[in-house]
Structure 1
């Protein structure tokens, strides 16, 4: 049983950087063409290089995931490259704002991208897959399970909890179509963003993690591939924690 079927097409939102780019690299390495949806100003050099190195077809599309119609059009265009069988929704933002003073615009910015954007992407991916079925993985966060110690991001936590439950609801609703929907919740992960933290901040995150370190992006991307592929053919409506034991402690 193959992990992913070479020659098929995957849609990845937020695939230009961080976990999303690692997901693109892992999918492309399996011979799957990739359509990347990211912000209009995103640097797609890494995405293009990953797909060229793997020898797969690719397309980068600048789109705001908060724009339902634009997302639908961009995902529909992925069918030009072949059968859309896989999708990973990584696009997201954080908002480190104290809750009592959070403005409506600050709240909406996070929820609109992290929850509404996932819903719009899933709708478009559902339409692109149709009754041929497929597999969708939504990137949530361990913050959807727990309240991070010493971090003030209530909007982010609420949105990611919503992603987890949304994924479960869509999994049940779309199971008759052969579309599996799961979510994956990473713990603290080394990305360009976390590398900009002061060393003592990342050391604190590592100290709170039973495995004693932050995840590498590849350690998140490989479980995503598992959930996408046929080895997980009886897995749907599940959230997979990839947090180094953080939520167990």
Structure 2
């Protein structure tokens, strides 16, 4: 039965720990492969992910490889933005995690499976989504697509004037337009209860939509470069993300 799943434990010199990850290998290994990396890969079985992937392989794209990277015990330090910690000092190992991805994981996959992956997507949930977006944004020659499910886009350098201190927003504002990049955003209307600016819209939705506005100012277009799914009643949980996952997988292979 496909996809075939192989699990690994790779010791990372950068992170000084063993990293567990699962590789879902497609039946068709001859066509040009797409590679999808997913943070918080330990949650995929709870989503029914293998059956989603099998359906995708059978109906539209038989050559998608997926690598589900399990979060480690220092998730709050390894996920984040590589160049900036948040105002509480979280994310101090995000740069090391980025190096693990680029210098250890990707070379391992290419060596183990004897192939190059010209089309790469990185995605994640909550802080894992922030991490994936940060890595894609800062390495546009390596990755082409980012998937952000309920992303922790509130991540900020200081707690005064939060709207002006959001790190990912600043990176986009100060960054360059890369025409090959594509972005998938998901947010739920019940992701949280907070409403910093008291505008009747929860912060999770505000942060997501304001980041998309900055991307549009850079030249990215909704429908072409940006896909957005707002889930009414959607929560900050695996069940909500599972409901959007088939749509995301279809986007990965078609965007």
TM-score range, shorter chain: 0.3 to 0.5
Using the size of structure 2 for normalisation, the TM-score is: 0.44
| Larger relative contact order (CA 8 Å, sep ≥ 6) | 1
Instruction: Name the structure where strand makes up a greater proportion of residues.
Output: 2
Instruction: Name the structure where helix makes up a greater proportion of residues.
Output: 1
Using the size of structure 1 for normalisation, the TM-score is: 0.45
